Structure 1
Amino acid sequence: MPAIKPVSDLRSYNEVLSDVHEGSPVFLTKNGRGRYAILDMKDFDRLNAAGTLMSQLEAGKASGEQSGWLSEESVRALFSL
C-alpha cells in the first residue's frame, strides 16, 4: 500500500522520513492532489540509470535509422566475439 500523506505532515518531517524505504516512496499531496514524492536514494539512482539507458537506446536507434544498421557478423567482428 503506498504511503500517501498531506504536505502539511512535513511539519514533523522525521516521522514522514521514517516511512520512506527502498521500494516504498512516500507521496505527498497538496490540496488533495498528488504533488511530491520522497524516494530512497537507491530508488532515485535506479530511476536515473533507467532514464539514461532509455536515452542511450533511443540515440542508438536514431543512429541506426540514419546511418544504417550493422549486420550481426559486423558487430561480432567489431567486438571480436
Structure 2
Amino acid sequence: MEIIQPSTILRNYNKVIDEVQDGEPVVLTKNGVGKVVMVNIEEWQRKEAEIWLLTELNHAEQEFGEGEDIDEFAKKYQLGVFSD
C-alpha cells in the first residue's frame, strides 16, 4: 500500500490511477496522517458484497439461535427446500 500526499496526485494523476486500477491501494495523507484510501472499483464492490454477506449470515445465525422455526426461516429467505 503506497502512502502519498494529495499534491502528488495532482502531479501524477494518471500514474496513481494506474496503480489503483492494478490493485494497489493508495493512502492519501493530510499533514502526514493517513486520511483516505483509494481502491479500484472492483475491489470496493467485492468488499461491499463481502460485508453484506457477512452481515446477513450474522443475522441468520442470531435468528436461528433465537429459535426461529425452520419453515419461517426458509420463507423469510425464500428457500423452498423445507416446504412440503
Bin of the TM-score, shorter chain as denominator length:
0.7 to 0.9
Alignment pair present for 1:78 and 2:77: no
* Count of residue correspondences: 74
Superposition CA RMSD, Å: 2.5
User: Aligned with 1:67: secondary structure?
Assistant: coil
Q: Is the 8 A contact 1:22 1:39 kept in 2?
A: no
User: Aligned with 2:48: secondary structure?
Assistant: helix
TM-score, normalized by length of structure 2? Answer: 0.70
TM-score, normalized by length of structure 1? Answer: 0.72
My pick for the range that moved more, 3-12 or 55-64, is: 3-12
Deviation, structure 1 residue 20: 1.1
Deviation, structure 1 residue 8: 2.1
Query: What is the identity percentage for the equivalent residue pairs of Structure 1 and Structure 2?
Result: 26
